[in-house]
Structure 1
Amino acid sequence: MTYIHFIINPISGSGKHNLSASYILNQFPKEKYQIQVDYTKQKKHALELTKTAIAKKPDYIIACGGDGTINEVASCLVGTSIKLGIIPVGSGNGLASNLKIPRNFDKAIAVIKKGHSTAIDVGQLNHKYFFSNMGIGIDALIIKKYERAGKRTLPAYIKASLSASLQFKPQKTFISFNNQIIETDPLILFISNSNEMGYNMSLTPKASLHDGLLDMIIIPELSFFEKSILGYNVLRNSIEKFKKAKHYPVKEIQIEMPSKIFIDAQIDGEQYNLKTNKLNVTILPSALHVLAD
């Protein structure tokens, strides 16, 4: 008998999804599956629920939510034999899209039933994990404004991006990687494990979850016109055509922002205020098992 533990974020995306315990229980015959379903009640609750679920030794733990919920569940599963499953009900769903996990509930559950898994790389930022991407440039401010908007929609994301572009002030940053040190004032300092950010947009279209590398993009301060061109290229997934975007494949990066005490960051599309001005970012190859075709 296969034991599957589901963790549902009821307010992921617009909060109007109809994924429920009763629906899930109807999809899994009792003679073949043991099913348990929990609902999150607030941010970080998925961490607690996952830790409790792990103690019961399930075969799979299924994160039903967006990239933030997936991050909380997956962070507890790194280095374990328990497989992560995903039913994407969030707004961006970058990791699920990269793994080709359908948004249709029936099709996503079919993937879970097949039980096929793949081992993916995991990014680590100090003591936090990321599975899609992280950034400490303008994207961190965009996410901060996006979260405050209260609406997880593409128009809200675009509005947050436009507002952040007028407000963001780059800070002197030292970046050490591949035996070199770069000093820059980055508009964007983006490090990705996945080839998609969500909403079918990407800064790193060639990134892979399986290559043992992170993809780092550094873009300096830009004029308003250049920002417009950059935005167009991001929406068109043609960032390689933007000449001021420098791309580096890396395994480990040290970042220091000497003028800051704390660093604002986005990690898998969630805003964090990191209580340090020094970051160490590394890749953990094949550290997470995920159910995917």
Structure 2
Amino acid sequence: MRTKQELGAAIRRERCAALVVNAHSRRGRRLYEGARSRLTAAGFTLLGTYPVDRPDELERSLAEAADLGPDLLVAGGGDGTIGTAARLLAHRDIALGLLPLGTTNNFARTVGIPLDLDAAVAVLTDGKVIDVDLGLVGDMRFTNHVGIGLSADVMLTAPPRLKRVTGRLAYPVTALALLRRHRPLRATVRAEGREHEFVTHQLYVANGGFHAGRPITADANADDRLLVAYPVGGPSRRELLRDTARNAATGHRRTLGDDPFLAVRQLWLETDPPARVEVDGEPYGETPIRIGLDPNALRVMAAADSPDR
């Protein structure tokens, strides 16, 4: 593999790319043509372009695009699309370019990609290649988070049409509908020789720095060799609602040293009763699970001033 400096230089010099857009996502259908024309105007030679209308075709389209041998694979869509692309490109000599066209765009926010399409394309033309960590649950890599409890139930039941119409508001609307009958779970987290127990409706383990479009803490990111585990509220529904609002309002002012965050390299998680698990918004299975890190697994085209460890 080339060094990231060599890969970045090749992208700036050769402008050789492939484009895959999830046209089924909220903004993807509307913005696909704009993305393609902007990349062409910026001097990119597009070896292949793939507007994907069916979710079950996304992985195959990404694989076909990667097999064309581009220096840069540009993926347009939400966190599910970006997560699929990240898994495909892990430890490969291709950089991932991000066009955030989804609902919350957590990974794009984590690596500092602007949500405006013109600004995101400017990063692809003038940025640099950085390495970021990916999380591991079992043998599956993820970009943003693992959710245990209510969020997994929400991801399984949030209507796609509601997501397209209301954006990220679809998730709290669905959560409120489910919460009336949702029961708390007892979660045990074992990490670094210590055991932590929580009774909660919801637990997250994050690799990135954003959740639901808001900062988790001021110092969480995808390049720090750390996972962040944290419950949202306690056993009562009122506590869940209170802490959800608190996290959204104050995440940018909190740090990993604050309660209830656990910043660790890997962990074992079990719940009583067994709980559903979602990984970057996709169903995964049930607890118990082991979660770890794959350091510097993914190369991403980021802004020229982005930090890179």
Instruction: Please list the CA deviations of residues 131-150 of structure 1 after superposition, one character each: whole Å capped at 9, or x if unmatched.
Output: 11111122222323324563
**Normalized against structure 2, the TM-score is what?**
0.82
Classify 1:147/1:72 alpha carbon distance in 2 versus 1 (closer, same or farther; 3 Å).
farther
| Residue 73 of structure 2 corresponds to residue 71 of structure 1 | no
Distance (Å, rounded) in 2 between the aligned partners of 1:228 and 1:115: 39
In the TM superposition, 1:152-163 aligns within 5 A as 152=164, 153-163=167-177
Counterpart of 1:223 (choices 236, 246, 249) is 236
Shift of 1:208: 1.7
| 1:9 equivalent in structure 2 | 22
Counterpart of 1:58 (choices 70, 75, 97) is 70
| Residue 302 of structure 2 corresponds to residue 292 of structure 1 | yes
Identity of aligned residues (%): 22
Q: Is the 8 A contact 1:194 1:204 kept in 2?
A: no
Shift of 1:15: 5.5
Distance (Å, rounded) in 2 between the aligned partners of 1:168 and 1:205: 31
Tell me how many residue pairs correspond in the alignment: 284
- Matching residue's letter, 2:60: E
In the TM superposition, 1:142-161 aligns within 5 A as 142-147=154-159, 150-152=162-164, 153-161=167-175
Unaligned runs of 5+ in 1: none
| Residue 27 of structure 2 corresponds to residue 27 of structure 1 | no
- Matching residue's letter, 2:177: S
| Residue 282 of structure 2 corresponds to residue 271 of structure 1 | yes
- Matching residue's letter, 1:56: L
- Matching residue's letter, 1:188: Q
Classify 1:39/1:129 alpha carbon distance in 2 versus 1 (closer, same or farther; 3 Å).
same
Deviates more, 1:179-188 or 1:64-73: 179-188
| Residue 271 of structure 2 corresponds to residue 257 of structure 1 | yes
Distance (Å, rounded) in 2 between the aligned partners of 1:94 and 1:63: 14
Counterpart of 2:195 (choices 178, 181, 184) is 181
Unaligned runs of 5+ in 2: 1-13, 304-309
Shift of 1:240: 4.9
Write 1 or 2 for the structure with the bigger share of helix. Answer: 2
Shift of 1:124: 0.8
Q: Is the 8 A contact 2:21 2:28 kept in 1?
A: no
Instruction: Please list the CA deviations of residues 6-62 of structure 1 after superposition, one character each: whole Å capped at 9, or x if unmatched.
Output: 101112125553222752464243xx6344211223224222122222222210111
Instruction: Please list the CA deviations of residues 188-245 of structure 1 after superposition, one character each: whole Å capped at 9, or x if unmatched.
Output: 211111111133x24444312111111111346333432332132023134859xx95
- Matching residue's letter, 1:7: V
SS at match of 2:152: helix
Distance (Å, rounded) in 2 between the aligned partners of 1:115 and 1:166: 47
Q: Is the 8 A contact 2:96 2:301 kept in 1?
A: yes
